[in-house]
Structure 1
Amino acid sequence: MKTLFCLLALVAVAASFAALPQQDSAMNCLLCEVAVRVAENPADREAHTVEDKFNAECKKEFGAIPFAEKECEKYGDAKLDAIINELEGGTAPEDVCRKLKECPEN
């Protein structure tokens, strides 16, 4: 009986870890879309301006989610430069997140 219980617990833990990348990917896609919306206007692409606007917009949209503020900051620090570079390089706003592999291909 103990063996069966341990086996079931192990399967449950393994299944929860297998689901994490999909959840993380979905959140990254949403965060990327917010970042693109904020950085879309060429006049507002100065790094600190985009970062401030992204953090404010992200907190507004995801503030009800626990730890959202930290996730917004982490994502902004890691990805905003790449998003701005794609936009400045001529990538269409609707294609940026897919090109950066933050959102799945359609």
Structure 2
Amino acid sequence: MKTTFCLLALVAVATALALPSQQDNAMSCLMCEVGVRAAENPADREAHTVEDKFDAECKKELGIIPFAEKECEKYGNSKLDPIINELEGGTAPEDVCKKLKEC
């Protein structure tokens, strides 16, 4: 699982570098998937718990990118609430990012 996410992160980075116009989309998709994983467990959906999990996982996944820390923080501040709302509304975790047009 860890290898898959590292590979996904590398593919996202490579795609972002090769296709600058799609850079935001690849990063947003990856960060959305990290956000869904952080908020997937209903017991952990308190805002600060999800934010802490998201920040740690996002920085871990994107740590090779120099500006990742700021991007993770920015994404978490603006996009975690809609992710949580979708999950609480019954949207399947695998469909959340598509529904929010992040992937």
TM range (shorter): 0.7 to 0.9
What is the rounded CA distance, in whole Å, between the counterparts of 1:68 and 1:42 in structure 2?
27
**Structure 2 length normalisation: TM-score?**
0.80
1:48 is matched with 48
- 1:88 Cα deviation (Å)? 0.2
| Structure 2 equivalent of residue 98 of structure 1 | 98
Q: CA RMSD in A?
A: 0.9
Q: What corresponds to 1:84 in structure 2?
A: 84
Q: Does 1:68 align with 2:68?
A: yes
Unaligned ranges ≥5, structure 1 = 1-18
Q: Hey, what's the Cα distance between the residues in 1 that align with 2:21 and 2:47?
A: 29
1:59 Cα deviation from its structure 2 partner: 0.7
Q: CA deviation at 1:21?
A: 3.8
TM-score (norm 1): 0.78
2: CA distance, partners of 1:63 / 1:101 = 24
Residue 27 of structure 1 aligns to which amino acid in structure 2?
M
Q: Cα deviation per residue 1:1-47 (whole Å; 9 max; x = unaligned)?
A: xxxxxxxxxxxxxxxxxx54411101100000000011000000000
* Cα displacement (A) at 1:102: 0.1
CA deviation after TM superposition for structure 1 residue 56, in Å: 0.5
Larger Rg: 1
| SS of residue paired to 2:90 | coil
- What's the secondary structure of 2:65's corresponding residue? coil
Identity of aligned residues (%): 82
Change (3 A) 1:82 1:21: farther
Aligned to 1:3: none
